[in-house]
């Protein structure tokens, strides 16, 4: 639906990994300028997006916006100053790392699900996508409609590990012979439902006609054989390569822009564009 009503960015690029792409999105700069071009930030690393960088939420907050991050951060948490609520976001609900169990919210021995600066223990046992959707809708319904809002909904799926509520698997009964593809498709369906639910909340609050919505992926799907990436059922066909690769399959991203003020919904824009 979004593709039919929005502008499809047919020549849109990100980075081959999560952290570099997010650094570009937050700063408007290529990741080589921030020192985050090599790899993702892992849980034990003593580094983050440099603290002297001015981030998008800081600029928008200065302009009068309410700013909220729901979902993945993945730009470092080696000190409090590196975390979202110290970097321009009024609130944060989600994970500091780039991945983790969708239901237990553990990554190795560590629990990673936070509400602002505190662990959110009530999230245990609940699917992260649905938690993020619920929180995003709460923000929308509590927001004063006469004031500007910046909401970054950064979904965890369809990142590994491949996990999804069983009811989504039933939608793809024809894929039983390929359980990985079935699970991956189900994860994408869960994300689709989340986006639809958030859009409906915006419409209910009469905010949709004044909304600029940008949908973006942060890298290509992981495929078997690329830098020992786990095969979780993704496909970048007909593009070559995948996540962690500088071939088209690793960096050509899905991008859609929607606004009621932008004419020509359903058309494509072929101009070269980068997430920064």
Active site residue 74: yes
Going from the N-terminus, what domains does the chain have, and what CATH number goes with each?
A: 2-218+253-274 (3.40.720.10)
pTM for the whole thing?
0.96
Candidates 66, 74, 105, 114; catalytic one? 74
Candidates 18, 66, 105, 114; catalytic one? 18
pLDDT tens by residue, 100-120: 999 999 999 999 999 999 999
DSSP of the chain, one letter per residue?
Answer: -HHHHSEEETTEE--SSHHHHHHHHHHSS-GGGTT--SSPPPTT-S--S-TTSPPHHHHHHHTT-EEEEEEE--S--SSGGGSGGGTT-SEEEEESSS---TTT-EETTEE--EETTEE-GGGTTS-HHHHHHHHHHHHHHHS-TTS-EEEEEE--TTSSS----HHHHGGGGGGTTSHHHHHHHHHHHHHHHHHHHHHHHHHHTT-GGG-EEEEE-SSPPP-TTSTT----S---TTSS--TT-SSHHHHB--EEEEETTS--TT-EE-S-EE--
The least confident of 16-20, 174-178, 187-191 is: 174-178
pLDDT tens by residue, 203-257: 999 999 999 999 999 999 998 654 545 778 899 999 999 999 999 999 999 999 9
Percent with pLDDT over 90 in the chain? 90
Active site residue 66: no
């Amino acid at each position: 639906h979004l593709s039919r009503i929005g502008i499809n960015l047919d020549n849109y690029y990100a980075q081959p990994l999560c952290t570099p792409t997010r650094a570009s999105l937050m700063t408007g700069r290529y990741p080589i300028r921030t020192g985050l071009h090599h790899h993702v930030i892992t849980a034990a690393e003593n580094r983050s997006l440099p603290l002297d960088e001015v981030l998008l939420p800081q600029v928008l907050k200065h302009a009068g916006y309410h700013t909220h991050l729901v979902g993945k951060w993945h730009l470092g948490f080696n000190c409090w100053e590196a975390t979202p609520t110290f970097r321009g976001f009024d609130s944060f609900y989600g994970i500091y790392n780039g991945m983790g169990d969708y239901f237990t919210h553990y990554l190795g021995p560590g629990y990673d699900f936070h509400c602002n600066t505190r662990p959110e223990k009530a999230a245990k046992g609940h699917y992260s996508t649905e938690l993020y959707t619920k929180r995003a809708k709460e923000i929308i319904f509590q927001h004063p409609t006469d004031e500007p809002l910046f909401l970054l909904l950064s979904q965890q799926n369809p990142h590994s590990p491949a996990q999804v509520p069983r009811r989504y698997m039933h939608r793809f009964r024809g894929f039983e012979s390929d359980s990985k593809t079935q699970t991956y498709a189900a994860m994408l369906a869960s994300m689709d439902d989340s986006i639809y639910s958030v859009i409906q909340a915006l419409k209910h609050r009469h905010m949709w006609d004044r909304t600029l919505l940008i949908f973006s992926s942060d890298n290509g799907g992981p495929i078997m054989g690329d830098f020992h990436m786990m095969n979780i059922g993704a496909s970048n066909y007909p593009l070559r390569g995948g996540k962690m690769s500088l071939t088209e399959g690793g960096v050509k991203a899905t991008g859609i822009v929607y606004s009621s003020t932008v004419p020509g919904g359903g058309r494509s824009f072929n101009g070269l564009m980068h997430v920064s």
